[in-house]
Structure 1
Amino acid sequence: MAINPSSSEVFIQGVTLSGRTFRPSDWAERLAGVMSPFRPGGARPGSHLSYSPWCVPTALNGVKCVVVNIALRDHDPMAWDFVMNFARDNELQLVEACLLPDEKP
């Protein structure tokens, strides 16, 4: 998948391209758990006990998602490919996002 250069994150949604809810229900936590060693500064003792800031499970509008930061691609291209291939192989919907500047008061 070609990612827009202005995107800073990709949301892997727990909905297939055909609109079905992806199972198992804990898929996002499992994927993020596998990616926990991939983090700024590399894996450290105990890092497997928390999610990487580059691959975080969440829910948006009731849909399970994994937010994957583009920094993962630069840090470890094979880890990035693993996550993107997971989405492709399971026909999951992807949405790109970019950071918007904070409004000044």
Structure 2
Amino acid sequence: MTQLVQQLIIHGVTQDGQKFRPSDWAERLAGVMSQFRPAGSVGGPLTYSPYVVPVVLDGVRCVVVDKRLRELEPLAFKFVCSFAEDNHLKVSEQETAMPSRPR
């Protein structure tokens, strides 16, 4: 069984088309957000939160933010949105099918 998950994608490209620097910005942002996890989730000291994950899409560094973070920790969600806005980064949204966890 699958569920649809709303995601926000922060692209490493500014509104005027410039590549965002530093080159490891996505990993840094995801690292700061690594403490925000689902209840009962176990993660080691060097793992990202499943809600904020750095990825490369079409050759561009991006951060995929699971919109469920908004309910888990509204200030954390606001932080990542403000990061994108303050740095004039392109943002898009998508809906992705994720497998449901067995009960």
TM-score, length-scaled by structure 1: 0.83
Structure 2: state its 5+ residue gaps: none
Report the counterpart of residue 60 of structure 1 in structure 2: 57
TM-align CA RMSD: 2.3
Alignment pair present for 1:74 and 2:71: yes
C-alpha deviations, 1:1-48, integer Å up to 9, x for none?
A: xxxxx870010000000000000000000000000000102786x644
SS of the residue aligned with 2:16? coil
Q: CA deviation at 1:93?
A: 0.3
Structure 1: state its 5+ residue gaps: 1-5
Tell me, in whole angstroms, the C-alpha distance in 2 between the residues paired with 1:42 and 1:16: 36
Closer, same or farther in 2 for the Cα pair 1:61/1:69, shift >3 Å?
same
**Which structure has more strand as a fraction of its residues?**
2
The letter of the residue matching 2:87 is N
Of structures 1 and 2, the one scoring higher in RCO (CA 8 A, sep 6+) is 2
Overall identity of the aligned pairs, in %: 52
Report the counterpart of residue 30 of structure 1 in structure 2: 28
Report the counterpart of residue 10 of structure 1 in structure 2: 8
